[in-house]
C-alpha cells in the first residue's frame, strides 16, 4: 500500500471531482487501480450490483474506519493547501 491515496469513500463522486481539479491528469483507470489496491489491503469493501447501468459501491471496512481520523486530518490539510495555493496565485496575478 505504498502509493495508496486515502479518501473518504462515502463521498466518492465529490472526492473524485476534487481529485480531477487537483490533478487534471487523474483518470478513472488510476482511481480504479487505487481502489483495487485499497480493497486488496482490506481498507475498503467493494460491492458490485448486477444491474444496468452497472453500480459499484465502496465503503470503508473496519480497518478503513480506524483510519478515519487520519483521513479527516489529511482532507483538512488538503483543503487548506488548496486554499493557500489559490490565494497565492490570485495575489501574484495582481
Q: Report the pLDDT averaged over residues 69-82.
A: 89
3-class SS at 1?
coil
The structure's pTM equals 0.54
More confidently predicted of 92 and 56? 56
pLDDT of residue 45: 94
Segment 9-57, tens digit of pLDDT? 444 455 556 666 666 665 566 778 888 999 999 999 999 999 999 898 9
Q: DSSP labels for 15-30? A: HHHHHHHH-TT--HHH
Amino acid at each position: 500500500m505504498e502509493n495508496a491515496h486515502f479518501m473518504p469513500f462515502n463521498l466518492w463522486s465529490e472526492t473524485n471531482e476534487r481529485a480531477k481539479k487537483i490533478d487534471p491528469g487523474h483518470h478513472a483507470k488510476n482511481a480504479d487501480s487505487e481502489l483495487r489496491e485499497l480493497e486488496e489491503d482490506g481498507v475498503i469493501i467493494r460491492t458490485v450490483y448486477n444491474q444496468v447501468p452497472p453500480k459499484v459501491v465502496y465503503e470503508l471496512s473496519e480497518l478503513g474506519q480506524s483510519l478515519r481520523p487520519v483521513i479527516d486530518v489529511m482532507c483538512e490539510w488538503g483543503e487548506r493547501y488548496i486554499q493557500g495555493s489559490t490565494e497565492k496565485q490570485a495575489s501574484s496575478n495582481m
